[in-house]
Structure 1
Amino acid sequence: MSSTDLPPPSPRMCDMIAAAAHFTRGMVRPRRPDQRLLASIDDAGLPDGEQTVRVRALPQVSRQVPAMGVVEGAAPYRRLPSAMTSFVVEHPEATFLVDPGYCRDARQRTIAELPPLTRLLVTPPAATMSTLDALAGRPPSRTPDFALPTHAHWDHVCGLLDFPGMPVHLRKSERDWLLGPDRPPVGGVRPTVSDGRPSEIYELDGPPVATFVASHDLFGDRSVLVVDLAGHTPGSVGILARTTNGWVLLAGDAAWHYEQIERLRQKPAFPGEFVDEDREEAFATLHRLHLARHLMRVIPTHDSAASGHICI
């Protein structure tokens, strides 16, 4: 068979080849921070108020992952701690879960739906705890009233499968992306939020906060604000909470590791070009986080060193 008889590569294969080339280039020459963008970002300040909340990371198994797969341009021999962390936020009016990311029997219920290469890269250790089991091990003072995922990827919502009646709060743009006519996110995401589950759809209808362009006051007392971190998905958000020890931002996957925020380094092209819906917007959001880190404690969901055993 001659080379002319071979079938042309599929679009996905072409995308993977391009991403691999970009990954190699990024190892040598990572994307530089945009100094004009940094200079253009205003600090709108943090709201006044007296009400505080408690933020707690649920226990989770951590693993070491190659740094060059998380931070563009990282040295290939380095490794970084990673985990599928869920959080509990306790407010006087309600207790809620942020990023209930892992369900019981996840390998069969969600991970089996992922493409083979993705499964190889993202399958966590066998000892990884479901959000339900982690919550049972360290229960809050009251049963969680609802879940508020930072975005609707499988590893941030599949734990909802173990809480069939729990309401979920979703940003409208995220809900529209998730349930729209296009190919849905993989990993059983749609059933976690749509199969008869009560939902509360919200908009970012509030003013800029700190370096973020829009917000939503969850309880009306300026203690928990949902802020815009779009780019990773169309409706990605962060949960900004006032605690007795200062402001904390649960940043989801706007960054996979705090080192990205500190050094202003985007995700590597592989797998970043397959997981970020809008790479330009994701990079702009990273600039906002870079400036915001002086105003608050920023915690990416998968950075187990940043989340640690946070209880504040």
Structure 2
Amino acid sequence: MNRPIDREPAPSAVELVRAAGLWASGTLRPRQPDRRLIDSIAIAELPTAGPTVTVRALPQIARYVPAAGLVEGASLFRRLPSAMTTFVVEHPSATFLVDPGFCIDARTRVLDELPWATRLLVTPPKGTLSTVDGLTRCPPTRAPDFALPTHAHWDHVCGLLDLPGLEVRLRTVERDWIMAGRRAPAGGVRTALTDGRRIVTYDLDGPPVATFTASHDLFDDGSVLVVELAGHTPGSVGVLLRAGTGWVLLAGDAAWHHEQVDRLRQKPAIPGEFVDEDRDTAFATMHRLHLARHLARVIPTHDLDATSSLSGCDDHPSPH
């Protein structure tokens, strides 16, 4: 029996007009960095001992989008490559997926739950690879033991629909946000994270690390640290990895493109007003990413320019 579709309400006309005004204003005068906040951010030590991990981006095709739709104040005439990226991390004790983002038949299984205007903005191109197809094309040394989404939006958990039984590690506050309310985020999020699936919750119970206020040591050995990146969703996190070539931070949607991190720019109001739970907190997090780029390679999940540097598979599709 088909599951009922829990459609997300479309933005109201008032919300769209307000967001359009903010977008136009931000395009001409982007929000400026908070220098007092930058000066107040303490830099905590990174672990200096422990094992290393390997991290690879699964093969994916590109979707070219206007730069002004990713980076506030960017040119209206440039286009940047975006992608639905899933990462495979191999630790001596376990293999896990970060952001299993795309499922087979996503258009009928999850995208129908989104408002038509949202679908126009977020629907990926034909030929986009599902997470399970990416794993087939570029298999890890061992099958994944669990998944670790940076946050619980459809394009970071949809791939779980094709991986029944795979355990999920999810921050407690994020789990509560999607499970406790009357409505889950649209796009099959609640279905992807339930259906008999084991969810293991964690809290950021560790000390500050790098520029981030709290952390969780996933293996208790300093090799994989989950860090606070709140703002996009209440429980958004980054995954800070000690790779063989240095520290790598998988930043989820705290940033959509490394240009935001380099130039310290927030997301544009369209669609930022509709996807960030707390715009002020998200911008404060961007300040921490801006400083952290000197300590680790920051990789936004949808930035194909950045994720391509982690490609370790010969079967990487050519961008379209």
Provide the residue aligned with 1:115 in structure 2.
115
Residues 183-222 of structure 1, C-alpha deviations (whole Å, 9 max, x = no match): 3201011000022110110000000000000000000100
In structure 2, distance between residues paired with 1:311 and 1:56: 5
Q: Quick one: percent identity of the two aligned structures?
A: 66
Task: Indicate whether 1:226 and 2:226 are aligned.
Answer: yes
Q: How does 1:85-104 map to 2 (within 5 A)?
A: 85-104=85-104
Provide the alpha-carbon RMSD of the alignment: 1.1
Q: Across the two proteins, how many residue pairs are aligned to each other? A: 303
TM-score, normalized by length of structure 2?
0.93
Asked if structure 2 preserves the Cα contact closer than 8 Å seen for 1:171 and 1:235, the reply is yes
Asked if structure 1 preserves the Cα contact closer than 8 Å seen for 2:58 and 2:311, the reply is no
In structure 2, distance between residues paired with 1:277 and 1:182: 17
In structure 2, distance between residues paired with 1:50 and 1:194: 34
Provide the residue aligned with 2:256 in structure 1.
256
Q: Which amino acid aligns with 1:140?
A: P
Which ranges in structure 2 are unaligned for 5 or more consecutive residues? 1-9, 313-320
In structure 2, distance between residues paired with 1:48 and 1:311: 26
In structure 2, distance between residues paired with 1:177 and 1:219: 25
Asked if structure 1 preserves the Cα contact closer than 8 Å seen for 2:53 and 2:91, the reply is yes
After TM superposition, give the deviation of residue 182 of structure 1 in Å: 4.0
Q: Which amino acid aligns with 1:184?
A: A
Q: Which amino acid aligns with 2:30?
A: P
Provide the residue aligned with 2:71 in structure 1.
71
Q: Which amino acid aligns with 1:279?
A: R
Asked if structure 2 preserves the Cα contact closer than 8 Å seen for 1:61 and 1:128, the reply is yes
Q: Secondary structure at the match of 2:12?
A: helix
In structure 1, distance between residues paired with 2:11 and 2:139: 47
Task: Indicate whether 1:130 and 2:117 are aligned.
Answer: no
Asked if structure 2 preserves the Cα contact closer than 8 Å seen for 1:54 and 1:311, the reply is no
In structure 2, distance between residues paired with 1:75 and 1:164: 42
Q: How does 1:132-281 map to 2 (within 5 A)?
A: 132-281=132-281
In structure 2, distance between residues paired with 1:270 and 1:138: 35
Q: Secondary structure at the match of 2:259?
A: helix
In structure 2, distance between residues paired with 1:262 and 1:236: 20
Asked if structure 1 preserves the Cα contact closer than 8 Å seen for 2:59 and 2:311, the reply is no
After TM superposition, give the deviation of residue 309 of structure 1 in Å: 4.7
Q: Which amino acid aligns with 2:162?
A: D
Task: Indicate whether 1:35 and 2:35 are aligned.
Answer: yes
After TM superposition, give the deviation of residue 15 of structure 1 in Å: 1.2
Q: Which amino acid aligns with 2:127?
A: A
Q: Secondary structure at the match of 1:308?
A: helix
Q: Which amino acid aligns with 1:203?
A: D
Q: Which amino acid aligns with 1:282?
A: A
Asked if structure 2 preserves the Cα contact closer than 8 Å seen for 1:58 and 1:309, the reply is no
Q: Which amino acid aligns with 1:143?
A: A
